[in-house]
Amino acid sequence: MLKLLNLLKDGRFHSGEALGAALGVSRSAVWKQLQHLESELNLTIHKVRGRGYQLAAPLNLLEAQAIAKFSHGEPWPVFIHETIDSTNAEGLRRIAQGQAAPFLVLAERQSAGRGRRGRPWVSPFAENLYYSLVLRIDGGMRQLEGLSLVVGLAVMRTLQAFGLKDVGLKWPNDVLAGGRKITGILLELVGDPADVCHVVLGIGINVNMQGNEQIDQQWASMRGEAGQLVDRNHLVAVLSQQLQHELGRHRRYGFAAFQEEWEQAHLWQGRKVSLVAGTSRIEGVALGVDGQGGLRLEVDGVEKSFSGGELSLRLRDDS
């Protein structure tokens, strides 16, 4: 199927005869593959008698060689999948199979993409970025403090490098553009956090998506914000470079070195917020983060810190 997509990805018309010759199959076999592409990947293909077949929009498929071309220095080993349950799940499987870290897992589509607190992550084919970086962590818990916030900073700077201006952070793991969610970050840990463990840094970025009725919250995409198609291979290379730089700083200096710059990028700094954990709700004013990446809130005139993977931060209606 990817061979046929590579022939069609330019968005031009291709005759059934030419496609069949390139694939070494009959025209009827080409027709069946085209139907499969439409039904399985939800792609729109125009069929015009005398001209052939054309994708409704050009596709930018992920390719290891293209990523390497855009990369400075030695890129991480990368495993690219056409369809997978989730890139984080595949990263965890590869750890169990003995794959040496660091390495990168990418996918054109996720059938069971996951966000924080078990939420599904909508993952249409070849439109967005589904990116999981697997790292080996030596030296215990200090290497994990504030790590998701550091990843958020790296993503934000990557988006800015692609021309997005109105971008910032929302504690703990979201990147917003124009006040709408453009990136989600999910970290998963396996092993002994007090000694040697592996962490999967899962990053989902809305890249070229223009519409999707499955998403139940306000969202933005790089294409919508920048007004042009984004080369996802270029995006992978720039994001990886930013992560290499920021993760190196984090290893050397810990999260305390990022605290001030993270707070400067926090869009809800000084705002009235609600911190939600299950059915409980804490009202306060967002003061920033502490040296471990926990949220600092002013609650009834007293500063308190909160951390935990099940917490969700929301703006109060009167903020």
Residues with active-site annotation = 116, 181, 314
Residue 114, annotated ligand binder? yes
Residue 86, annotated ligand binder? yes
Distance CA 290, CA 298 (A): 13
Distance CA 21, CA 318 (A): 64
The helix (H) or strand (E) run that includes residue 57 is none
The helix (H) or strand (E) run that includes residue 225 is helix 222-226
Q: Which residues contact 65 (CB under 8 A, 6 or more apart)?
A: none
134 and 93 Cβ atoms separated by less than 8 Å = no
What is the DSSP track for 109-172? EESS-B-GGG-B----TTTSEEEEEEEEEESSGGGGTTHHHHHHHHHHHHHHHTT--SEEEETT
Distance CA 208, CA 226 (A): 10
Residue 42, annotated ligand binder? no
Residue 88, annotated ligand binder? yes
Q: Backbone phi, then psi, for 79, in 5-degree steps?
A: -120, 120
What is the DSSP track for 177-201? ETTEEEEEEEEEEEE-TTSEEEEEE
- What's the token pair of residue 228? 């042009």
Residue 87, annotated ligand binder? yes
- The interaxial angle of helices 232-253 and 147-161, nearest 10 deg, is 140
Residue 110, annotated ligand binder? yes
Known binding-site positions = 86-88, 110, 114-116, 181
Known binding-site positions for biotin = 86-88, 110, 114-116, 181
